Every structure is written in structure tokens, then in C-alpha cells.
Amino acid sequence: MSIQWFPGHMAKARREVSEKLKFVDIVFELIDARLPLSSRNPMLDQIVQQKPRLILLNKADLADPNQTNLWVNYFREQGYPVLALTAKSDKSVKQIIPASKKVLAEKIARDNERGIKPRAIRAMVLGIPNVGKSTLLNHLAGKKVASTGNRPGVTKGQQWLRFGSQLELLDTPGILWPKFEDPAVGKKLALTGAIKDDLLHLDDLALYELEMFSRFYPEQLKERYKLTEDDLFKELPELLMLISEKRGFRDDYERASEMLILELRQGKLGRYTLDRFEELSE
């Protein structure tokens, strides 16, 4: 079953982004390093068109580092400049301006030849909800200039923000696409908090979480919930029941599902990547 979710403010934001593109030199496409494909808006190519772009794989500190390296190489092979970063890290954020100048090297050279005085790079930040746009902006500025929150829809409008003499950023609300044709994409986005929880059943999300961790991060699952190797071979509903019992929830599977999802988001299951590079061809 496909998931449809396209609030009116997102349709408006898409129109405004298209109108404002002419004022920027480069687009920063911010995506979640745990979901390098699922957190990319497929409408973005149509919106951005030929505007220079820098892909920022944010939340790299939460993602599986081996998978992140594979995805960075993949995007580079596709012709995209890309950085893996953590928006809260000075070292990560300081890479953005040099990387932007590299992308815009030809334009900067042309301006120099024409005698055009150098000015700040004007960039637009685009991405779906909850990929860390506001956190990135605040860290660049060294103070709170944008609202943050671990939920979708925090940024409601567009605003220009200046960072020193080298960078001006146009912040935008997160823009999702009208429908998720692949149910797995919706589950991944819901697990990481990019779409509202009430769009999917919590037990379905928890079962999907258990499926992914049983396949790719079994040791993390075993350690967190005191499971044995044999436990991981149980059917997923049985495994959810077992974890529910171990946590003292008895047959309150909804409460157990909430706990599983919350602990995933809090990082208590360790680093993970749900978009697997080895499954890219599928």
C-alpha cells in the first residue's frame, strides 16, 4: 500500500523554492546518512535542474560508517560532489565552504576574469523534514538562528541567514513528495522521524525495525534486548512478543513497539544504515 502525504505548506514551499533558485549559486541537498536514497526527494532533480549542487550526507555519526563510505563513493561516481558530515561537529561543518568553492570554481574564475568583486556564496538548503537542516544552520552561525526539533515540520518558512563574509544561506522547510510508492521507504522515513508516526501502525514499524536489525545488526539487537542467537530465528511477531515480555510489558505490544522505535531514535541500538548499498540494484 502506498502512503500519501503532501500537506499544503509543502506544495507552497516547492513553488517558492522554484522561484528563489535564480537568487542562489548552489544548492545544498541535505540527506540522512542512514537513508541515503530514501531521504532523497525524487522531485528535487526536476526542481533544481542544472543548478550546481553539493550533497551533504548528514548524521554520519549515527550511520554505519562502512555503508556511508560506500554511498559517498556511489554519489561521486554519479557525478555529484558529496560530503559526509555531522551537523553538530565543527570539523564537519568547516568542510562545506571549501567544498562549495570547488563546485563553483568555474563561476568564480569567470567572475575574476570579468573583474567582478568577490562576494559571499549564496546557497539554498533543501531536504526532507528532520534531516538536520536547522541544526546545521545553527552550528554554522555558532548560535540559534533556526528552530530545531526531532520531528518533521519544524521549519515553516524561508529565511536568509548570513554566516560571516563567505556564505549566505536560504533556509527552506522540508519538502516531501506526494506519495511513497514503495512501502519500505515510508517505514524507513517513519522510523527515523521524517514523517509523522500516525501515518503508519507502530507495530508494523517495530516489526520492520526488528527485521532490519536481525539481518544487518544482529549483535546490536542481541546486546540491547538480551537475546540469544536462537531468538533471532523466531518469526518477527514472536520476537516482538519476547522483547515485550523481557521488558515487563506482557502482551502490551503497542507499548513494546513504542519502546523499540524510541530507543532506535535515541541511538540505544547503536549506529545503523537502513538503505543498504548491497541492495542498490534491487
> Binding site membership: which residues?
58-61, 130-135, 174
CA nearest to 42, candidates 190, 175, 196: 175
Q: Which three cell numbers stand for residue 213?
A: 536489525
87 phi/psi in degrees, rounded to 5: -60, -20
Q: Give the C-alpha distances (Å, rounded to integers) separating 43 from 47, 72, 145, 158, 179.
A: 6, 21, 28, 19, 11
Count of CB atoms situated within 10 Å of the CB of 106: 9
Q: Which three cell numbers stand for residue 233?
A: 530465528
Q: Which one-letter DSSP state was computed for residue 55?
A: E
Measured distance between the N- and C-terminal CA atoms of the chain, rounded to whole angstroms: 19
* Coil/strand/helix, residue 266: coil
d(CA 262, CA 282): 29
> Binding site membership for GTP: which residues?
58-61, 130-135, 174
d(CA 45, CA 27): 11
d(CA 60, CA 83): 10
